[in-house]
Amino acid sequence: MHPRLRLSLNKKWNRPLHTGAVFLYDRGKVRMIQMMLREAWPEERPLLYEWGHREWPKNRTLAQYIEDNQKEEAYGTRFVLVADDGEVAASLMLLKHRPHLYGLGSIVVAPAARGRGVGTQLLTECLQMHKEAAFMLYSEIGTPYYERFGFTALPDEYQRYPQGICMVKAHLQQREQIMQEPIPDYF
């Protein structure tokens, strides 16, 4: 593990927002790993940008990808899920669009942690931070994964980006309000 990414509990802005466990299947054995949700540290961002750029290059250089993400960070908070050994396992951006409407973007899981429930835990914990709020995202992986969390695709007339399906997780009244106001741009 990179020494800068090791968990350091003496940083005041390193307090966990939530901790939980993930059960990993490793070589036929089940192993429990404690995970902690917290804001990303500035020194972790280069690694997170590299992971994101591998997933969504969109004909951009890494420098262009970083510039785009830094603009996004001005409107939200980047969270990470960290394993008990200090390794960053996953990350996402939580953007506040309106009162009680949050956007989820740049959801990425470390290559070594994929397929092990880490992304599910990250999303679950972030959704729990604002239980009464509505959430929106643009899915580039289809709808089934996010439907497991209660997200539904907006009707076709609200879909503006062919590369991402606009989905929301909201109570009926919230959903109707979202569709009456301008839908936030792709983020």
Residues 79 and 44: beta-carbon distance below 8 Å: no
Put the strands of the sheet holding 29-39 in their side by side order.
18-26, 29-39, 76-83, 88-98, 101-109, 134-139, 165-169, 152-153
pLDDT band (50, 70, 90) for residue 163 = confident
| Domain annotation for the chain: domains and CATH numbers | 3-180 (3.40.630.30)
Residues 54 and 62: beta-carbon distance below 8 Å: no
Residues 104 and 135: beta-carbon distance below 8 Å: yes
pLDDT at 19: 53
> Model-level pTM?
0.81
pLDDT at 170: 97
Residues 49 and 43: beta-carbon distance below 8 Å: no
10 or 169, which is more confident: 169
Range name among 10-24, 83-97, 110-124, 143-157 with the lowest pLDDT average: 10-24
Residues 127 and 103: beta-carbon distance below 8 Å: no
Provide the mean pLDDT of the chain.
85
pLDDT at 50: 96
pLDDT band (50, 70, 90) for residue 26 = low
9 or 100, which is more confident: 100
pLDDT at 75: 87
Does residue 82 carry a pLDDT above 70? yes
Residues 1 and 85: beta-carbon distance below 8 Å: yes
User: For residue range 95-141, what is the model confidence (pLDDT) as tens digits?
Assistant: 999 989 999 999 999 998 898 889 999 999 999 999 999 999 999 99
Radius of gyration of the chain (CA): 17
Does residue 12 carry a pLDDT above 60? no
